């Protein structure tokens, strides 16, 4: 039986990176000790941000419903969806399947909560930011959100879609933006899997939601985590 099912393709390069991180961070001494996993690279999935902003959720949900059905037939034990924006629909996902779906957003907020930091800033797509999906869980767990300016939100959105279009991973502009918000009292949440591809300086206080998803994917698959860098 396959332990982990992955609904990917949002975007494809981020899905490749997620799979690589799972492999590199699983404690294994040989092939047979790695996780049995199915990756559905559903690249033609409707754009999540457009579906949220234009109120076209049915279009997206009908597409991902088919992926849940495939994974149900295969018999996976947990599902990872390496796309922050898609988790706006998490409650809808639970109505579509009985599979255990890792809640990437909630798990990330819990990770910040454990660190003792009280404030967060969120960096992701306009779909993620405008839907306030992170704010929902931040409020539930007692974290304060330091707002990112509209100018910087749009700049981050442009960086994300430039990565999707060109695979250009130049991080200088994004690093400059992070430095405006992240400090000892505020952790920046890397809330888009395209942004997770960038090489973020270690001295900037951030938590990468993709790393959180990697960790929980490994744990729920019954394996041990070797090391996941935040």
pLDDT one-digit tens code per residue, 26-67? 999 999 999 999 999 999 999 999 999 999 999 999 999 999
Report the C-alpha gap between 71 and 66 in whole angstroms. Answer: 9
This model's pTM is above 0.85 = yes
Q: Which among 92, 122, 97 has a CA at the least distance from the CA of 187?
A: 122
- Domain spanning 4-103+212-225, CATH class: alpha beta
| Mean pLDDT for the stretch of residues 177-186 | 97
Do residues 20 and 39 touch, judged by C-beta distance below 8 A?
Answer: no
Per-residue pLDDT at 164 exceeds 70: yes
Report the C-alpha gap between 18 and 81 in whole angstroms. Answer: 10
What is the pLDDT at residue 95?
97
Higher pLDDT, 1 or 216: 216
Report the C-alpha gap between 55 and 15 in whole angstroms. Answer: 26
Mean pLDDT, the chain, whole residue set: 96
Report the C-alpha gap between 224 and 217 in whole angstroms. Answer: 10
Per-residue pLDDT at 230 exceeds 60: no
197: left (phi over 0), alpha (psi -120 to 50) or beta: alpha
Residue with tokens 């660190």: 115
Residue with tokens 């009985």: 98
Q: What is the pLDDT of residues 135-151, one digit of tens each?
A: 999 999 999 999 999 99
Q: Which among 185, 169, 172 has a CA at the least distance from the CA of 121?
A: 185
Give the start-to-end residue ranges of the domains of the chain.
Answer: 4-103+212-225, 105-209
Two domains, one topology: 4-103+212-225 and 105-209: yes
The Cβ of residue 107 has, within 10 Å, a number of other Cβ atoms equal to 15
Q: What is the pLDDT of residues 58-86, one digit of tens each?
A: 999 999 999 999 999 999 999 999 999 99
Report the C-alpha gap between 228 and 161 in whole angstroms. Answer: 26
Fold of 105-209: Rossmann fold (3.40.50)
Sign of CA dihedral 70, 76, 82, 88: positive
- Both tokens of 2, joined, read 């396959």
Cα end-to-end distance, the chain, whole Å? 30
């Amino acid at each position: 039986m396959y332990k982990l099912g992955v609904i990917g393709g949002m975007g494809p390069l981020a899905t490749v990176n997620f799979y690589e991180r799972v492999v590199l961070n699983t404690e294994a001494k040989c092939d047979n000790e790695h996780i049995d996993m199915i990756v559905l690279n559903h690249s033609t999935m409707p754009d999540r941000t457009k579906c949220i902003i234009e109120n076209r959720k049915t279009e997206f949900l009908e597409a991902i419903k088919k992926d849940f059905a495939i994974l149900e037939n295969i018999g996976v034990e947990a599902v990872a969806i390496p796309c922050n924006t898609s988790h706006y629909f998490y409650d809808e996902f639970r109505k579509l399947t009985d599979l255990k779906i890792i809640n990437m957003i909630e798990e990330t907020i819990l990770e910040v909560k454990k660190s003792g930091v009280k404030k967060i800033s969120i960096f992701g797509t306009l779909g993620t930011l405008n839907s306030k999906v992170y704010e929902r869980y931040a409020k539930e767990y007692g974290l304060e959100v330091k707002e990112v300016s509209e100018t910087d939100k749009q700049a981050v959105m442009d960086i994300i879609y430039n990565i999707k279009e060109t695979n250009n991973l130049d991080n200088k502009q994004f690093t400059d933006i992070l430095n405006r918000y992240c400090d000892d009292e505020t952790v920046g949440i890397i809330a888009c899997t395209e942004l997770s591809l960038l090489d973020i300086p270690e001295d900037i206080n951030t938590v990468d939601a993709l790393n959180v998803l990697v960790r929980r994917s490994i744990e729920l698959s019954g394996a041990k985590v070797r090391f996941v860098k935040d």
